[in-house]
Chains A and B, each alone.
Chain A
């Protein structure tokens, strides 16, 4: 009886044309083993084939693509038939695509290793649970706000966590939007107001996540919040307190263009009361008794079904590019300083005290440079062209130069924007700026900034004396993203951005079920892309959390009493405190165990195991032949 089945997926030609599947089948053939082959096991026909051909099997091994893609699907199909022994060997990635000269031999060894462990393998026990219809959104920028709104509209309870005292993130400081140059706050602020009105959304400002535990569908999140000294539940945003503060600039206020929540915050480093003086002016003037000097750090535990990460990005620190002089030379600013100056609404911000006669935009400040950011952030070109148009509007007589590497202007309208800029006299020069300096090339330019560059199309050196240099840095993940990644067990990519589960077909998912990504935390995005990805994440969350029940696999370690010497090393080594000494010896707490295997490898007497005792040893022996 052929109790064991091996399914070889051709994956179109991906495996079939590289690995000699007939040879594989020949070599693997055995008394108890049936070898089956299908062009696309993941297709509906393929799945049907898998189900049909694995009837009455004791165990099934599928040799196909990486487990991220279809392992769950296959396992679910087989489990529905009561088949517990299942293994997937990704011969596409591990042999077909990476073997130098003999993918077939490599695939054969890997499959043999899989078979050696198959007999010992059990699918992990699964529990069904009812997901909690509550969602935690980390980050209150454009992405977080969008996701929170969408999820609450769909009926979920949403907890929105923001590190700053006010929501809005970087979108608050946008002036016009690429590529149509519409007013950003006209587009964005209605969303903020909608959020302020939304039901079932609880906002935590100045807060961060400190712990996440539990299972997808039922997480426990602990959050910590800094004091605001003004009570959110009492303040109604009249702003009287702002005018009475004797400190300049005021120690109490809402220093953003559209404060949401419209509740001021007290800066304890400026407030006289925190300096030991007896000022209580704001407290006295407040009609609602909202000022609370006794406010303290707080902790709260939330039970949620899922988490959306929307921590966003920030511009690369331009001061690290020493030869561009940012932070050292007063008339060298970044695009974001410029954008802030535009959006601050004042007629003449500091940097425009005297109208600039000549302005240079330095694209790719630090980007595509192995010492800084080796990648292209894609959206900065458009933002720079947009800002230069706005500058030209304000100062029609200013000469404006862009030094670029490649102009990447997306959307059909992007190209139009570029032509518009050219028509207005803005000049585009291809070449990297070598230096920005206060030392002029010739003494008559003393007092202006020198920009040294090369126009690589004309092969001509450029020395420009300018009045304003606008650096256009690329984007990096927001501060604290790495820490959050460890907290959530998510993997950051090389550049530090969160990696989606699959870039193309599952951009909102992560390697952990029940945690999704929204917006620029997974890479530079402009506002429209951010909103789209946040809606996608919200949709994923809503779909997942509205299911009546979900199946959560729960592998966990098992304990063999007869081998245990009770040294309790496992108890200490467990990062999740899932093992506890007990009267009978050792108790495994399944709700805490994450099946990492750390205790298994620490146990000196082989009393603990995952999957099966010595499963990896079997594989190792088989793979070494």
Chain B
């Protein structure tokens, strides 16, 4: 199976940032597969395990910038869960860097693009083509 990076993107900011990126025609690795969720706070840790067990190399959780969650504290909650989950991964001897959170505003397509490629590069060693 080709390497896959799952991106759970909140429909308010991160998914819109991806659209913003799309309008600029910035390219993402083929293995990056976005799934839209209501809020980054709606991403349960079980989904992270499910993604990893089914072969995803990494999972990115994209939410609104800090303090700007549309549901008040969804992204804060997501961040706490990610921290605990990363601690669990580390305790199991797995790399905690296989899951991470990215907090971007809807206009920050270029930043999301950078973050995704950075993550992809760390996971696969492939860099973005110039």
Given contacts A94-B18, A511-B12, A619-B35, contact A596 B47 (CB under 8 A): no
Instruction: Name B19's contact: one of A93, A596, A597 (CB within 8 Å).
Output: A93
**Is A482 on the interface with B (CB-CB < 8 A)?**
yes
Report B1-43 CB contacts with A as 1/0, cut-off 8 Å. 1001010100111001011011101111110011101110111
Asked if residues A598 and B41 are in contact (CB atoms below 8 Å), the reply is yes
Instruction: Name B54's contact: one of A106, A493, A610, A620 (CB within 8 Å).
Output: A620
**Is A80 on the interface with B (CB-CB < 8 A)?**
no
Give Cα distance in the complex from A597 to B71, angstroms. 9
Report A96-119 CB contacts with B as 1/0, cut-off 8 Å. 011111100110011001000000
Q: Residues of A contacting B23 with CB < 8 Å?
A: 93, 97
**Residue in A closest to B44 when the chains form the complex, CB atoms:** A601
In the A-B complex, the 9 residue pairs with the closest CB atoms? A597-B42, A493-B107, A596-B71, A93-B22, A575-B72, A601-B44, A97-B22, A489-B70, A624-B54
Asked if residues A620 and B68 are in contact (CB atoms below 8 Å), the reply is no
Give Cα distance in the complex from A3 to B22, angstroms. 33
Asked if residues A491 and B77 are in contact (CB atoms below 8 Å), the reply is no
| Residues of A407-435 contacting chain B, CB below 8 A | none
Q: Residues of B contacting A499 with CB < 8 Å?
A: 105-107
**Is A595 on the interface with B (CB-CB < 8 A)?**
yes
Asked if residues A486 and B68 are in contact (CB atoms below 8 Å), the reply is yes
Give Cα distance in the complex from A575 to B107, angstroms. 25
Other A-B pairs beyond A97-B22, A625-B1, 18, CB < 8 Å: A94-B18, A97-B25, A98-B26, A100-B129, A105-B30, A485-B68, A486-B67, A489-B71, A491-B13, A491-B107, A492-B68, A494-B108, A499-B105, A600-B42, A620-B47, A623-B33, A624-B33, A624-B51
Given contacts A491-B16, A620-B47, contact A92 B129 (CB under 8 A): no
Instruction: Name A595's contact: one of B1, B38, B45 (CB within 8 Å).
Output: B38
| Residues of A531-576 contacting chain B, CB below 8 A | 573, 575-576
Report B76-120 CB contacts with A as 1/0, cut-off 8 Å. 010001000000000000000000000001111001000000000
Asked if residues B38 and A98 are in contact (CB atoms below 8 Å), the reply is no
**Is A90 on the interface with B (CB-CB < 8 A)?**
yes
Given contacts A597-B37, A601-B43, contact A620 B50 (CB under 8 A): yes
Q: Residues of A contacting B19 with CB < 8 Å?
A: 66, 68, 90, 93
Q: Residues of B contacting A274 with CB < 8 Å?
A: none
Give Cα distance in the complex from A491 to B33, angstroms. 24
Q: Residues of B contacting A602 with CB < 8 Å?
A: 77
- Would you mind naming 11 contact pairs between A and B with Cβ atoms under 8 Å apart? A92-B22, A94-B34, A491-B16, A491-B107, A493-B105, A494-B105, A499-B105, A511-B16, A596-B38, A617-B50, A620-B51
| Residues of A458-508 contacting chain B, CB below 8 A | 482, 485-486, 489, 491-495, 499
Instruction: Count how many pairs of residues, one from A and one from B, have CB atoms less than 8 Å apart in the complex.
Output: 149
**In the assembled complex, how far is the CB of residue A130 from the closest CB belonging to chain B, in whole angstroms?**
26
**Is B64 on the interface with A (CB-CB < 8 A)?**
yes
Report A600-625 CB contacts with B as 1/0, cut-off 8 Å. 11100000001000001101110111
Q: Residues of B contacting A600 with CB < 8 Å?
A: 42, 44
Give Cα distance in the complex from A448 to B103, angstroms. 48
**In the assembled complex, how far is the CB of residue B24 from the closest CB belonging to chain A, in whole angstroms?**
9
Asked if residues A596 and B4 are in contact (CB atoms below 8 Å), the reply is no
**In the assembled complex, how far is the CB of residue B12 from the closest CB belonging to chain A, in whole angstroms?**
6
**Residue in A closest to B45 when the chains form the complex, CB atoms:** A601
Instruction: Name B28's contact: one of A90, A99, A511, A595 (CB within 8 Å).
Output: A99
**Residue in A closest to B107 when the chains form the complex, CB atoms:** A493
Instruction: Name A98's contact: one of B16, B22, B43, B51 (CB within 8 Å).
Output: B22
Q: Residues of B contacting A595 with CB < 8 Å?
A: 38
**In the assembled complex, how far is the CB of residue B17 from the closest CB belonging to chain A, in whole angstroms?**
9
Q: Residues of B contacting A105 with CB < 8 Å?
A: 30
Q: Residues of A contacting B60 with CB < 8 Å?
A: none
**In the assembled complex, how far is the CB of residue A590 from the closest CB belonging to chain B, in whole angstroms?**
16
**Is B62 on the interface with A (CB-CB < 8 A)?**
no
Q: Residues of A contacting B1 with CB < 8 Å?
A: 625
Q: Residues of A contacting B107 with CB < 8 Å?
A: 491, 493-495, 499
Asked if residues B35 and A575 are in contact (CB atoms below 8 Å), the reply is no
Instruction: Name A596's contact: one of B8, B74, B105, B111 (CB within 8 Å).
Output: B74
**Is A344 on the interface with B (CB-CB < 8 A)?**
no
Give Cα distance in the complex from A621 to B47, angstroms. 10
Asked if residues A94 and B22 are in contact (CB atoms below 8 Å), the reply is yes
Give Cα distance in the complex from A139 to B123, angstroms. 48
**In the assembled complex, how far is the CB of residue B19 from the closest CB belonging to chain A, in whole angstroms?**
5
**Is A594 on the interface with B (CB-CB < 8 A)?**
yes
Asked if residues A597 and B68 are in contact (CB atoms below 8 Å), the reply is no
Q: Residues of B contacting A110 with CB < 8 Å?
A: 33-34
**In the assembled complex, how far is the CB of residue A609 from the closest CB belonging to chain B, in whole angstroms?**
11
Asked if residues A575 and B74 are in contact (CB atoms below 8 Å), the reply is yes
Asked if residues A575 and B33 are in contact (CB atoms below 8 Å), the reply is no
**In the assembled complex, how far is the CB of residue B70 from the closest CB belonging to chain A, in whole angstroms?**
4
**In the assembled complex, how far is the CB of residue B98 from the closest CB belonging to chain A, in whole angstroms?**
15
**Residue in B closest to A102 when the chains form the complex, CB atoms:** B30
Asked if residues B56 and A99 are in contact (CB atoms below 8 Å), the reply is no
Give Cα distance in the complex from A98 to B71, angstroms. 28
Give Cα distance in the complex from A492 to B16, angstroms. 12
**Residue in A closest to B106 when the chains form the complex, CB atoms:** A491
